[in-house]
Homo-oligomer: A and B are copies of this chain.
Amino acid sequence: MNNIFGRNITLTLFGESHGPEIGCVVDGLRPGLPVDEGAIAHQLDLRRPRGNIATARVEPDPFRIVSGVRQGRTTGTPLCILIPNRDVKIEDYVNLSDTPRPSHADYTGWVKYRGCADLRGGGHFSGRLTAPLSAAGAIFLAALAERGIRVGTHMTRCAGIADRSFGDLTVDLAYLDNAAFPVLDAARGQAMQSAILQAAQAGDSVGGVLETVIIGLPAGLGDPWFDTVEGLLSHALFSIPAVKGVEFGDGFALAELRGSAANDPFRWQNGQVVTETNHNGGINGGITNGMPLILRTAIKPTASIALPQKTVNLAAGTDAEIRIAGRHDPCIVPRARAAQDALTAFVILDLLCNTI
């Protein structure tokens, strides 16, 4: 069990929130894939906190490609991206070491790493690690785009407010590529932002649901046991801090239907087998059927809140109260999108290696 994911392509994340640099290594990419530094910067930009709905910590995220790229193309050898950590106010977190923040990894990381890990600011568990992940995501997304496969994610729910459903997928996905606050309906986006601000002012935080769609997938990706497309994607997506559920197609709603309503009838369309409905989210028997792949992740509210909370003092062996000082993002849902797109693209790219 470790910090490496993937079979044909592998992704390794390293670094800690308060270390000098964080980074990733991607191995197994085929030589000749386009690597556009502008696209990498764009993905980093999409995950960057913005204005008053996100932490005030400035994260310009300059990055450095250390290996694996030459003249704008992958070389086929391991690709390493490094991102320096900056503007870290170490003192904010120092007093947390003995008093684990509720629903953070402070306590479990302390147990697992036997007190040796550098857990300041979340350490290796920190959401900061999604920066190199998002950077690499730009390369994965470009590799899929070359094959006509598009990935996009919107906040289908946030702070209890629903976005509109996907309509014309090609149009909607193109729109999301550049949407800093990834909703399809601007008015509902405004309502979400107001609700996030309200929670922040109350010293609290909110969560939401991210919905991802992939179009252009060939049928036949995935395996029945145990590398189902659902299994591989969920394995990856649960790494995004705060994800507590993953569902495909109609997901949990399917459990309430009868078979006659849940099944997706086949028919021919332009020489292709398609389904009339897509309750199964483009996957049958763990394998893609060529229809749009649809998934949703449940993102719990940010665990770091300004309100006082009950915790324990691990050193003293006493109960304690904690007030988390630093700067905290009252809603990480919009920013988590870049990580979700990156991991989704990674898994699909890895699956495609098996089919060529």
Contacts and interface: CB of A to CB of B under 8 A. Distances in A.
Interface stretch (A45-53, A111-119, A176-184): A111-119
A223 B14 contact: no
Interface in A79-97: 79-80, 82
B14 A157 contact: no
A10 B244 CA distance: 26
Count identical subunits in the complex.
4
Contacts of A10: 2, 4
B4 A27 contact: yes
A288 B22 CA distance: 25
A258 interface: yes
B252 A104 contact: no
B238 A312 contact: no
Interface stretch (A138-146, A185-193, A266-274): A266-274
Nearest to A316: B268
Contact of A15 (B80, B227, B255, B256): B80
A1 B12 contact: no
Interface residues of A, number: 149
Interface stretch (A36-44, A55-63, A69-77, A166-174): A69-77
Interface string A303-325: 11101011110100111000000
Given A111-B219, A112-B219, 11 more contacts: A2-B27, A14-B27, A16-B75, A77-B113, A108-B219, A112-B222, A209-B252, A244-B280, A255-B298, A263-B305, A268-B319
Interface of A: 1-5, 7-8, 10-16, 19-23, 25, 27-28, 31-32, 64, 66-68, 70, 73-80, 82, 100, 102-105, 107-109, 111-118, 123-125, 129, 157, 160, 199, 202-209, 219-228, 230-232, 234-239, 241, 243-268, 273, 275-276, 279-281, 283-289, 298-305, 307, 309-312, 314, 317-319, 350-351, 354, 356
28 contacts: A1-B222, A3-B27, A14-B80, A31-B113, A76-B117, A77-B117, A102-B264, A102-B265, A103-B259, A105-B224, A112-B219, A125-B285, A125-B286, A157-B256, A207-B259, A235-B235, A244-B255, A244-B280, A247-B252, A252-B252, A258-B301, A259-B303, A263-B303, A266-B312, A267-B312, A268-B318, A268-B319, A280-B300
